[in-house]
Amino acid sequence: MIPPPIVLHDLTCVHDRHPAVHHLSGRFAPGSLTAIVGPNGAGKTTLLRALAGLHPVHDGRIDRGGLAPDRIALLAQVGTLDRSFPVSCRDVVALGAWARMGAFRRLPADAAARTDAALQEVGLAGFERRLIGTLSAGQFQRVLFARLAVQDAPVLLLDEPFNAVDARTAAELMALVRLWHQQGRTVIAVTHDLDLVVREFPETLLLARAPVAWGPTARALSAEHRLRARLAAEAWSDAAVPCRDAA
């Protein structure tokens, strides 16, 4: 279950021809639990999408140690997902199995049982046939965590996993994150909750487009490093000339 390390070599990604992440080098150790924090617009979501292979690398490279794309699971921000399509909780969770098997492969015989077990694990037993459009934000986030459980990937990328959910839901989902980490998975989570980071995450990457600090959480979130991140963000300008090299 323990995946290979993920190593970033002078990574640069652009968004609308402006640098979103640049000159980032470092290593996510196998089985590590890392928070990515930083001001709004710091490139945190772009970095997660690049790690998942969903955002192009402009310069540098990401070495995933040969890990196949379907072995990296991304939980997108819940607010970016469309819930208007009439699909059931069970169907959404079952997509975790499709991610491993491929769209044109028959689901394994135990997929339904695994799907229902995952819903029970996140506290949604009896919700199998409920349409996702009828769920609260916290209930829908539980469904997405159940889908991750079914996907059973060794690397989990979580984008604001506790945003817009109540305290009880956040605590129960964090317990699942702890469990996944204890199983040897690499877990990388973007969050704005610094109290949670200090309490739960041994490693932190403080990002302000360029890296500010990466290492043990207490050191990465020192007052000096947080000030550097804030000053970097204050210097950003939407009027900056786009990078000529960025396609």
User: If you write DSSP's letter for every residue of 111-133 in order, what string do you get?
Assistant: HHHHHHHHHHHTT-TT-TT-BGG
Residue 99's pLDDT is what?
Answer: 65
Number of residues in the chain: 247
pTM for this prediction:
0.91
The region of weakest confidence among 95-109, 165-179, 206-220 is 95-109
pLDDT at 57 exceeding the cut of 80: yes
Domain of 5: which CATH number? 3.40.50.300
Question: Does one domain contain both 210 and 226?
Answer: yes
- The amino acid occupying position 108 is P
Is 101 a residue whose pLDDT tops 70?
Answer: no
Residue 69's pLDDT is: 82
Q: How far apart are CA 24 and CA 221, in angstroms?
A: 17
**Are 215 and 203 spatial neighbours (Cβ–Cβ below 8 Å)?**
yes
Answer whether residue 243 shows pLDDT above 70: no
Answer yes or no: is 171 within a domain: no
What is the C-alpha separation between 224 and 132, in angstroms, rounded?
Answer: 44
Confirm whether 104 is domain-assigned.
yes
Question: Are 76 and 159 spatial neighbours (Cβ–Cβ below 8 Å)?
Answer: yes
Residue 184 lies in a domain: yes
| Count of domains forming the chain | 2
Q: Which two tokens stand for residue 89?
A: 């909780």
Beta strands in 16-167 (DSSP E): 18-28, 33-37, 59-63, 72-75, 155-159
pLDDT score at 1: 66
* pLDDT for res 56: 95
Do 226 and 160 belong to one domain? yes
Question: What confidence score (pLDDT) does residue 214 get?
Answer: 98
How far apart CA 136 and CA 142 sit, in angstroms, is 10
* Token pair 């960025």: residue: 246
pLDDT band at 238 (very low <50, low <70, confident <90, very high): low
Query: What's the pLDDT at 119?
Result: 97
Q: Range of 20's domain?
A: 1-67+154-165+180-238
Query: Average pLDDT of 16-39?
Result: 94
Residue 64 or 238, more confident: 64
Is residue 180 within 8 A of residue 187, CB to CB? The reply is yes
The partner residues of 208 in beta bridges, in order of sequence, read 210
